[in-house]
Amino acid sequence: MAAATPAPATPSASDAPPASDAPPASDGPPTPDREPARRLGRARTYTPDALVVAGYVGLAVLLASGQWGRADRMFHQAGDQILFEWMLARAARAVVDLDNPLYSAALNAPDGVNLMANTSVLGLGVPLTPVTLLLGSQVAFLVAVVACLAGTATAWYVLLRSRLVDSRVAAAVGGLVCGFAPGMVAQAGAHLHMSAQFLVPPILALVFRPDSGRVLRHGVLLGLLVTYQVFLGEEVLLFMALAAGVFVLAYAVADPRTARRRAPALLGRIGVGAAVAAPLLAYPLWFQFLGPGHYRGMPFHAYGYQLDLASFTASARQTVLGDGYLPGLLAPNATEENSFFGPGLLILAVVVVIWLWRRPLVRALAVCGALFALLSLGARVRLDGAPTSVPGPYRLVGELPLLDLAVPARLALVCIPVLGILVALSLDRVRSATTADTTTTAGARSGVPVRLLWGGAVAAALLPLTPTPIRTVPVWPVPAPVADGRWREYVPPGRTVVAVPPVTGAGESPAMFWSARTGLAFRAPGGYFIGPSAPDDPTARWGAPDRPTAVLLRRVAETGEVPVVTDTDRRAAVEDLRHWRAAVVVQGGLHLGDPVRRTVDALLGPGRPVDGAWVWDVRPLVD
């Protein structure tokens, strides 16, 4: 889960944007002779910005290149991609059908799924509806990945350029770090809700405005953006709020006079924002925590998702120097490689903090980054893959409300924008200092080398973090009888298609995959989501409560061992099919497909081969 960004908060007078960022004074009303020149000047001004954004988009497209035009490939965390493809398809269906976007009965039949209590990413799914309907869920997912990475980098570039630095190059490099750090790339391949951070800079820009005017207007905009962020990712919003709070406290200690002067307007904007967001979010949040299919807690122990201290200086898998072995020892999984910054960038950050320590902004950023890095180590520090006896500070806050639902390893994502801002500030400082020096003859001799030396140091720190295309794995295609709609001849209204094997727990769900790729054309039991353990037990668990037939077939799919099927098993299978309101059972491609098929034959009778798939018409059994 990605973290919120430590805001470039409340800059003091010494942190104010350079004078060159101020709009030029008006020269009076344009004349016919001067207007073309003005338009040309504006075009020249925006062209470098457009090139920066185009570069971000091009890099994001390259990182997703392993899937473009490849329906038989998915990113390495295929189960997560299936989840988000389904969520995007469901959002499009809700728009077309004017259906409740917070709940769906198309999955986990007959009980349905509380989508608001899962990562529904409606903030991406709704605007991507045309893409999903025209090009399918896979293309929509890839477009979302590109939008999250490039959008986050662009948003930070705009904030840096408008508030903190004068140099476009400095802002561009800072945006590159914020949008394409190893942690962002790792999250983007699986967790859209964590990589969708493009609203974080605008939110922080509104909270930490340097002026005290238009409190009402800015507060309303803040409330609207916070509301939208909830439908992108609540975890990012939580981390952003925590990071901003830490930043404010650290800045108040570093520059109490400026903090006192700007506190009333800041609190006013936050108050207005809360008043706007509260009524907009009241029903969605009620639905999430108390609506149908709500749950309590998490289906896993968050304490197990922590980072290794050695991971901060290691290379992530998705970088030019990365490999598949060491990161597996230092992070919970390939998606949570949130802290792999390498030694070069960390040393560079320490140098920048010492160099610019007099700036309150830098001191506050340093405190914020260091604290969240420590929190990501969990309740007990690990080093080089082994636990130590050193307690981590996370144990002091891990049981607090909301934080008890968060993953400690993702707190390190807060460090990404901290490092990006520090890099941008340093490049801008070198540029402004050397520009001033070149006004003298001596400066002309010394200024350029200083700039080149520091630029080389930044390049040496960042080049090892160059991301590589997100790894993909092969997937079985949607079975032909499902893809072309022939399932309809078996399934009357109100009945479901059961994929073999039915998913149990957090396993990859073929039914969910088929549903997403066919635009939610049919209802299916089970799925990959978080829900209650039972109708009368809201304790969280992965997927639907296990049915005997699902457990049996999943075991066969994993072991390849065909069990002795008894009459008890057959009666249980019929009962499970009735519970699922099944009309047809379909088996597509499986690694151990033959043992599974033989087991289903023993349970339900012989199936029928149809274009590479096996089909069992179970209506006579269920009816």
- How do residues 275-322 score in pLDDT, each as one tens digit? 999 999 999 999 999 999 999 988 887 777 899 999 999 999 999 998
Edge-to-edge order in the sheet of strand 608-610: 496-500, 582-587, 613-617, 608-610
**Res 38: pLDDT:** 59
Question: 260: exposed, middle or buried (C-beta count within 10 Å: 0-12, 13-18, 19+)?
Answer: exposed
For residue 362, CA distances in Å to 258, 356, 506, 507 come to 15, 7, 43, 45
DSSP state of 319: B
- Write out pLDDT tens, residues 85-104: 999 999 999 999 999 999 99
Amino acid sitting at position 483: A
Q: How high is the pLDDT of residue 23?
A: 38
The stretches of 438-547 forming alpha helices (DSSP H) are 441-462, 480-483, 510-517
**pLDDT band, very low/low/confident/very high, at 39 (cuts 50, 70, 90):** low
Let me know the angle formed at the C-alpha of 200 by 12 and 48, rounded to the nearest 5 degrees: 80
Q: Which amino acid is at 545?
A: P
Instruction: Give Cα 121 to chain centroid, integer Å.
Output: 9
- Greater pLDDT, 326 or 95: 95
Tell me: pLDDT of 377 over 60: yes
Q: Give 24's pLDDT tier (boundaries 50, 70, 90).
A: very low
Beta strands, E only, 504-571: 530-534, 537-542
Between residues 163 and 5, which one has the greater pLDDT? 163
Query: What residues does 613 pair with on adjacent strands?
Result: 610
The Cα angle at residue 501 between residues 498 and 502, in degrees rounded to 5:
55
Strands 537-542 and 496-500: unpaired
Residue 220 has pLDDT above 70, yes or no: yes
Terminal-to-terminal C-alpha distance of the chain = 45
Residue carrying structure tokens 């003091």: 12
Which of 17, 26, 550, 9 shows the shortest CA–CA distance to 265? Answer: 9
d(CA 537, CA 532): 6
| Residues 171, 161 contacting (CB under 8 angstroms) | yes
Specify the range with the lowest mean pLDDT, choosing from 31-40, 313-322, 401-410: 31-40
- Residue 43: its pLDDT value, please? 57
pLDDT at 186 over 60: yes
Task: Tell me the C-alpha to C-alpha distance, in Å, between residue 539 and each of 239, 528, 533.
Answer: 25, 16, 5
* Phi/psi at 394 (5° precision): -60, -25
pLDDT of residue 41: 58
What digits encode the pLDDT tens for the residues 519-578?
Answer: 999 999 999 999 999 989 999 999 999 999 999 999 999 999 999 999 999 999 999 999
Q: Which of 422, 479, 482 is nearest to 454 (CA)?
A: 422
Quick one: how far is CA 535 from the chain centroid? 30
592-601: average pLDDT:
96
Cα 558 to Cα 53, 207, 341, 408, 614: the distances in Å are 46, 51, 37, 31, 19
Q: What is the mean pLDDT of the chain?
A: 90
One-letter amino acid of 603 = L
- Mean pLDDT of the region 160-183: 97
- Are 299 and 506 spatial neighbours (Cβ–Cβ below 8 Å)? yes
Is the distance from CB of 375 to CB of 393 less than 8 angstroms?
A: yes
The 10 Å Cβ neighbour count of residue 383 is: 14
Residue 218 has pLDDT above 90, yes or no: yes
Q: Where residue 355 falls among pLDDT bands split at 50, 70, 90?
A: very high
Angle subtended at Cα 526 by Cα 83 and Cα 537, rounded to the nearest 5 degrees: 105
Other C-beta atoms closer than 10 Å to the C-beta of 441 total 7
Compute the residue count for the chain.
Answer: 623
Q: Which helix (H) or strand (E) holds 180?
A: helix 168-180
Residue 482 vs residue 402, higher pLDDT: 482
Q: What is the per-residue pLDDT across 499-523, written as a single tens digit (0 to 9) for each?
A: 999 887 778 889 999 999 999 999 9
Cα separation, 216 vs 269, whole angstroms: 7
Q: Give the integer Cα–Cα distance in Å for 619 and 583.
A: 5
Q: Which residues, 6 or more positions from 239, have their beta carbon under 8 angstroms from its beta carbon?
A: 1, 2, 3, 4, 406, 410, 411, 413, 414
Contact indicator for 330, 308 with CB cutoff of 8 Å: yes
The answer to whether 320 and 464 are in contact (CB under 8 A) is yes
Does residue 270 register a pLDDT over 70?
Answer: yes
Does the pLDDT of residue 117 top 80, yes or no? yes
Residue 359 has a pLDDT of 97
Q: At what angle do helices 200-207 and 256-290 cross, to 10 degrees?
A: 130
Tell me if 169 sits within 8 A of 455, measured CB to CB: no
pLDDT at site 475: 94
Percentage, residues of the chain above pLDDT 90? 81
pLDDT over 90 (residue 364): yes
Give Cα 494 to chain centroid, integer Å.
Answer: 35
Q: What amino acid occupies position 453?
A: L
pLDDT band at 436 (very low <50, low <70, confident <90, very high): low
